[in-house]
Amino acid sequence: MIEVNDLWKSFKDNPVLKGITLSIPAGQTYVVLGGSGSGKTVLMKHVIGLFKPDRGSVTVNGVELSGLSGKALTEARRVFGMVFQGAALFDSMTVFENVAFPLREKRRGVKLDEVRARCLEKLRVVDLGEEVLERFPSELSGGMRKRVALARALVSDPQVVLYDEPTTGLDPITTDYVDGMIKAAKERLGVTSMVISHDIASAFRVADRLAVLYDGHLAAEGTPAEVKASKDPYVQKFLSTWFEKQ
């Protein structure tokens, strides 16, 4: 579904990505781990076509993104849904209006009854129901806001869902909710997921494959077991604190 090949990116004299190559098969959950400033968000912005590489390529669903612009790039991005850090719901809109927003932006002229049915369908994927439709984000718990954000990302039936630091700043119970919804989206809808995170415990719970990004390179990449067994000194140090608690 996603192929990143020899990806390089610098900002002025600061190299951020240095030859990243990875592959994300359809239907899998792929987590990119790394500390602050490791290049995780820059990598995701290349995957969604917001940045163009200095060298290398990003191919999504068979389409190479770096040569696209305008309507062609907008069309290529339709395969994506996005779950932002902090949920990023519109405070002045109800849950229904938030979840319906992508449909109304992308598919003008869709009947209200159809929009409502689609919103309810996706809310039920994340274990929410009709009772939340008229609530505002301020009336929801942190875990419920995250689930509404995922329902909004899913309402356009994307093939790929991107999660930007989905568990940052959350308590353990809410983090478990978020991990559960990532797994539910994969199991119930078969979506491909790319998760940017520095939450090691969450990453090992949800990932089919993991990458650890350090200084613009992939320090380790593979299944959770393969990454855990890595002999790379940075990977061992990065993971050690969490594994010592297990």
Q: Is the pLDDT of residue 20 over 80?
A: yes
Write down the pLDDT at residue 198.
83
d(CA 65, CA 54) in angstroms, rounded, equals: 13
Write down the pLDDT at residue 13.
85
The CATH number given to whatever domain includes residue 55 is: 3.40.50.300
Q: Is the pLDDT of residue 104 over 80?
A: no
CA 163 → CA 18, 29, 62, 245, distances in Å?
23, 10, 21, 26
141 inside domain: no
Q: Is the pLDDT of residue 72 over 70?
A: yes
30 inside domain: yes
Q: Is the pLDDT of residue 93 over 80?
A: yes
Residues 6+ apart with CB under 8 A from 122: 99, 151, 152, 154, 155
Domain count, the chain: 1
146 inside domain: no
Write down the pLDDT at residue 47.
92
**Which residues constitute the domain of residue 178?**
2-90+159-244
Tell me the chain's radius of gyration from C-alpha atoms. 18
Q: What percent of the chain has pLDDT over 70?
A: 94
Residue 228 tokens read as 């855990």
Q: What is the pTM of this model?
A: 0.87
Listed as own residue / partner, the contacts of 97-104 with beta carbons closer than 8 Å and 24 or more positions apart are 98/137, 98/148, 98/152, 99/123, 99/148, 99/151, 99/152, 99/155, 100/155, 101/152, 102/152, 102/153, 102/155, 102/156, 103/155, 103/156
65 inside domain: yes
Q: Is the pLDDT of residue 126 over 70?
A: yes
pLDDT confidence tier of residue 128, bands split at 50, 70 and 90: confident
Write down the pLDDT at residue 153.
87
Residue 17 tokens read as 């990505």
pLDDT confidence tier of residue 239, bands split at 50, 70 and 90: confident
124 inside domain: no
d(CA 58, CA 104) in angstroms, rounded, equals: 29
Q: Is the pLDDT of residue 63 over 80?
A: yes
Q: Is the pLDDT of residue 169 over 80?
A: no
149 inside domain: no
109 inside domain: no
145 inside domain: no
Q: Is the pLDDT of residue 245 over 60?
A: no
d(CA 185, CA 151) in angstroms, rounded, equals: 9
Write down the pLDDT at residue 174.
79
